[in-house]
Structure 1
Amino acid sequence: MGTKANTMPVISKLYCSSSQVIFMVRRRPHVVNGGGFVVTNCIQLVVFQVDGCGVLGTKGELVLRDANGDALLLIRRKGGLVEALSIHKRWKGYTSDYKGSKKLVFTLKEPRSCLVKNNAIRISTEPKSSKNWDYEINGYFPERDCSIVDSVGNIVAQVGIKKEVEELMASKDLYHVVVKPGADQAFVFGVIAVLDYIHGESTRC
């Protein structure tokens, strides 16, 4: 399997690096119910933070912020009758322009049932390509052992946990994410925020 990532930015080219980057993700303290998580770089500076429903006060809604606390991405779970009848739950990620109007940048489909043919979580980006999906999740996020892979099999980002950290903390509140060269880091953490919510972790009330 290849390691060269899709180099097209999803959120912004500002968050694409020409080299591989390792980030650490730490859950906010448990006292903040559904508070989200913080992403730091190798020198422990905050790069991104995710607000969950405990901070926002709205279920099925997440916000990815930059180091200054400015919103980069609003992520919402789609509802309504059409959604209720669908075999997938859909999450949509939006950016805002300088006028404040929202622009759809990706859609994540979460299968409702293990009976769905190929029940992988898949993500399509805007503008839509000729394919049905652009990225999918391989592995199992709650075990901190998964990757975001593009449609031709290249790994874009890997979620993992160092054995010594796991033994020390006896929890999965601290883990690392390796983002490959050229991949949009903001998009990667937007996807991880949704995975976190789907599995009832730090962003979910």
Structure 2
Amino acid sequence: MSATAIIKPIVSKLYCSASQVVVLTVRKRPHVVNGGGFVVTDCSQKIIFKVDGCGTLGIKGELILRDADGESLLLIRRKGGMFQALSIHRQWKGYMVDYEGTEKLVFSLKEPNSCLAKNIKVNVVPKKCNINMDWDFEVRGSFPDKACVIIDSAGNTVAKVGVKKEAQLMMVSKDLYQVEVQPGFDQAFVCGVVAVLDNIYDESTHC
């Protein structure tokens, strides 16, 4: 029997598994305009999350992570205006929105200033990991190749993005891939980060 992990919610503890690695499948949403987004299913093909891209929302640089019922979990925006013009890194910010429409900042992600950059830093508000680090999570590897990991500031693997070996042998499109989330970590947060990576690298949410 697997040991019970410490639950580390960022969006909600509802999306943290206490003892099992959760394997999610990401599939580009079919039959929609460019930038329509993607769906995330579990091992039984049940929809867990949906991501709306700019083709669905009609707004560039904005994404919405929804639950299976279509309720908004995260509103994710690319920071614009003068701040972006003066900044070396473009930033994305993820917000939780309450029933009154009040936005609460959950995380920020620095977009790499080069397509050759391998590591992408993610900050959580309030900080959940090592307060002595200037980042809470880091994406390492190549998202376009679907070969990357998310680690926390203590060096623990939070999630892995990859394509099944069988799918690689069959030359299946990378529009279908898996995200393995370790016990205790927030699947909604991980999928929010994946949504931003998808947009940065001009995939299913990008217009």
Query: Common fold, TM-score beyond 0.5?
Result: yes
Identical counterparts, % of pairs: 62
Name the CA distance, whole Å, in 1 between partners of 2:50 and 2:78.
19
Scaled by the length of structure 1, the TM-score of the pair is 0.91
Asked if 1 retains the 8 angstrom alpha-carbon contact of 2:41 and 2:48, the reply is yes
Q: Please give the secondary structure, in 2, of the residue aligned with 1:142.
A: coil
1:100 shift after superposition: 1.9
1:30 shift after superposition: 5.8
When residues 56 and 5 of structure 1 are mapped into structure 2, their CA distance, relative to the original with a 3 A threshold, is farther
1:169 shift after superposition: 5.1
1:127 shift after superposition: 1.1
Aligned residue for 1:180? Answer: 182
Name the CA distance, whole Å, in 1 between partners of 2:115 and 2:6.
29
Name the CA distance, whole Å, in 2 between partners of 1:51 and 1:76.
12
Give the length in aligned residue pairs: 200
1:122 shift after superposition: 0.4
Match of 1:132 among 127, 131, 134: 134
When residues 5 and 124 of structure 1 are mapped into structure 2, their CA distance, relative to the original with a 3 A threshold, is farther
Asked if 2 retains the 8 angstrom alpha-carbon contact of 1:94 and 1:102, the reply is yes
Asked if 2 retains the 8 angstrom alpha-carbon contact of 1:5 and 1:155, the reply is no
Within 5 Å, give how 1:121-200 maps onto structure 2.
Answer: 121-128=120-127, 129-168=131-170, 170-200=172-202
Aligned residue for 1:53? Answer: 54
1:82 shift after superposition: 2.0
* Amino acid in structure 2 at the alignment position of 1:56: L
Name the CA distance, whole Å, in 1 between partners of 2:31 and 2:199.
15
List alignment gaps of at least 5 residues for structure 2.
none
Asked if 1 retains the 8 angstrom alpha-carbon contact of 2:162 and 2:179, the reply is yes
List alignment gaps of at least 5 residues for structure 1.
none
When residues 174 and 119 of structure 1 are mapped into structure 2, their CA distance, relative to the original with a 3 A threshold, is closer
* Amino acid in structure 1 at the alignment position of 2:74: L
1:156-196 Cα offsets, whole Å, 9 max, x none, are 00001012223435310111110000000000000000000
Asked if 2 retains the 8 angstrom alpha-carbon contact of 1:53 and 1:62, the reply is yes
* Amino acid in structure 2 at the alignment position of 1:202: S
**RMSD between aligned alpha carbons?**
2.0
Name the CA distance, whole Å, in 2 between partners of 1:52 and 1:80.
20
1:5-64 Cα offsets, whole Å, 9 max, x none, are 874211111111112110111011264210111000011000001000000000000000
